[in-house]
Structure 1
Amino acid sequence: MGLNRFSLPVAAAIMMINASLLVQGCLEEERTALLQIKTSMFDPNYMASPLLSWGNDAHCCSWAGVSCDNITGRVNEIDLFDVRGWFIDPSMGDWYLNATLFLPFQELNTLDLGFNDIAGYVANEGFERLSRLNKLESLYLGFNNFNNSILSSLKGLSLKHLNLDYNRLKGSIDTKDFDSLSELEELDLRENEIENFVTSTGFERPGSLDKLEILDLSSNRISDSNLSFLKGLSSLKHLHLDNNQFKGSMEMKEFDSLSKLVELRLQENEIQNFATSTGFERPGSLDKLEILDLSSNRISDSNLSFLKGLSSLKQLYLYNNQLKGPMDMKG
């Protein structure tokens, strides 16, 4: 009995010491993998790269951009933002990523590869290979040169946050490419050249984006004011459609299914009016909307009756439009 009384705290102390050693020294397998990433991505001409210091000491959990779990000592976050530099000599040609370099990191939760001038991925070594990393939730690929093909390579990932802003997505996007990303909560596609979404039923297919809360499509080339592709995004709270090419009349019934929407950004378009007879007063409409930005459009009708039903509205932006004369505020 006496031995058992002391065995538990002794075992706990040993575990704490082991955990401390793991955190300080990191796992050798993961240290080796990080050095392989450095070899693959490091540009010796870019002296500001955080990778320059990798390998200077054995404790990889303290390396720039690397974070580890306090208990297991395993790498759970790798921040490689701007490690290659953006203004790379064109004569060096396009650079393609080998995503399998990240497979050793079994507890990886967040991976940031932004601002690295990545053109794509090595054949058969794309992001689909990371489907085994079931803890990977956040993937940041902004400020690169990925084209539309990147979307199909993301199948099988359990992401909650996906950023593809400032890339080279163009033209029509097939919404079925997002079908497997059923856990996604945030999708950032701003600053591309997307014109529309090819779909017959929106995101209403089983296993689609019914958990998505934030969708940023700002600064694209979306010109079709028919927003039927938004159907099925039943959890959406924040929608950014600013700085696109919406013109003339916008049919507001397309927003009816977004009953949880809190923020709607439509500024910097060329919207003239809203085609609606009853505003947002239809059942299941935007009665939770708190922020509506319609600034910098061409709205000239001072009758704001289309705002009826927005009972939760707290912020309304209408500056830099063509509103003139008396304004009927009773709407």
Structure 2
Amino acid sequence: MRTEIITWFFSIVTLTIFFSITIPVHSQCLEDQKSLLLQLKSSLEFDPDSSVKLVNWAGTDDCCQWNGVTCNRFGRVIGLDLNTDSISGGLNDSSSLFGLKFLEKLDLANNSFNFAEIPSSFGVLTNLRYLNLFTGTIPQCLVDKVTATLSVLNLQNNSLTGNIMGAFPEGCTLRTLELNGNKLEGEIPNSLANCANAEVITWREQDLALGTKLASYPCSMSSSNFSYLNCKYVIIWNDMVLVWA
């Protein structure tokens, strides 16, 4: 009887230890996610001799392990980093990119997209938290739909043209907006004040087209409209560094 009790005790201890061990589980790429990524690769124009990401995407591999791709534990693509991958075109509103509904971070900067306008379908990627873009004008839907959830919008050094932005929605969640290195025009919208948690807002006056109005310049000490913004960053204006905390 005593032997049985001891055996039972050690069995319980062994099972407890076994189930308490966390075994890492690799998130296998879902087939629909792989298909969308391969369609994206096929549609994009890029230099295979210079590419280090797209060129190595292959259908026989787990797409969650591809360079530039990040998945969640369910095998859904939540991050795509194609920064500096020698892409020259092939992205439009019908792109399979916009089928990646779970994307939270997207970086397409430092490529050679030459758009008259950034595809409006970016507005369907409502889970985006970080967006780093390229050339073209900024569609209003990008401001309306994306900035409701986006926290970082980096559009700097992308030769953007046209109006600065449309109206920022109520409850805008932007914390960082960077517009340096573009040729934008129009008036800086007062609705930027809807982004009450903004901490980093940067652009340079020399990057703005002639006639752009700076009267509503965010974080300016003379602009009471933005007195409740949470600015904590340096703004470069006419080669002078202005700081608000």
TM-score for the superposition, normalised by structure 1: 0.55
Q: Does 1:59 align with 2:62?
A: yes
1:209: how far off? 1.7
Q: Percent identity?
A: 23
CA offsets per residue over residues 94-131 of structure 1, 9 Å max, x none? Answer: 64434652344343211111123223499986212323
Task: Check the 8 A contact 1:128/1:156 in 2, yes or no.
Answer: yes
Question: What's the counterpart of residue 140 of structure 1?
Answer: 132
1:186: how far off? 0.9
Question: What's the counterpart of residue 208 of structure 2?
Answer: 221
Structure 1 Cα separation of the partners of residues 211 and 33 of structure 2: 48
Structure 2 Cα separation of the partners of residues 255 and 266 of structure 1: 20
Which residues of structure 1 form unaligned runs of 5+? 89-93, 240-251, 270-291, 295-309, 314-331
Cα pair distance change 1:266/1:198, threshold 3 Å: closer
Structure 1 Cα separation of the partners of residues 20 and 32 of structure 2: 25
Question: What's the counterpart of residue 153 of structure 2?
Answer: 162
1:262: how far off? 3.7
Q: Does 1:79 align with 2:65?
A: no
Cα pair distance change 1:255/1:226, threshold 3 Å: farther
1:78: how far off? 0.8
Q: Does 1:118 align with 2:121?
A: no
Question: What's the counterpart of residue 25 of structure 2?
Answer: 20
Structure 2 Cα separation of the partners of residues 217 and 140 of structure 1: 15
Task: Check the 8 A contact 1:165/1:190 in 2, yes or no.
Answer: yes
TM-score for the superposition, normalised by structure 2: 0.72
Cα pair distance change 1:181/1:268, threshold 3 Å: same
Question: What's the counterpart of residue 32 of structure 1?
Answer: 35
CA offsets per residue over residues 40-70 of structure 1, 9 Å max, x none? Answer: 1143x4312121111164221111111222x
- What is the aligned length? 229
Question: What's the counterpart of residue 101 of structure 1?
Answer: 96
Task: Check the 8 A contact 1:227/1:254 in 2, yes or no.
Answer: no
Question: What's the counterpart of residue 189 of structure 1?
Answer: 179
Cα pair distance change 1:196/1:154, threshold 3 Å: closer
1:185: how far off? 1.1
Cα pair distance change 1:213/1:63, threshold 3 Å: same
Q: Which letter maps to 2:92?
A: L
CA offsets per residue over residues 275-309 of structure 1, 9 Å max, x none? Answer: xxxxxxxxxxxxxxxxx826xxxxxxxxxxxxxxx
1:152: how far off? 3.3
Cα pair distance change 1:32/1:7, threshold 3 Å: farther
SS at structure 1 position matched to 2:222: helix
One of 46, 50, 54 as aligned partner of 1:48: 50
Which residues of structure 2 form unaligned runs of 5+? 1-7
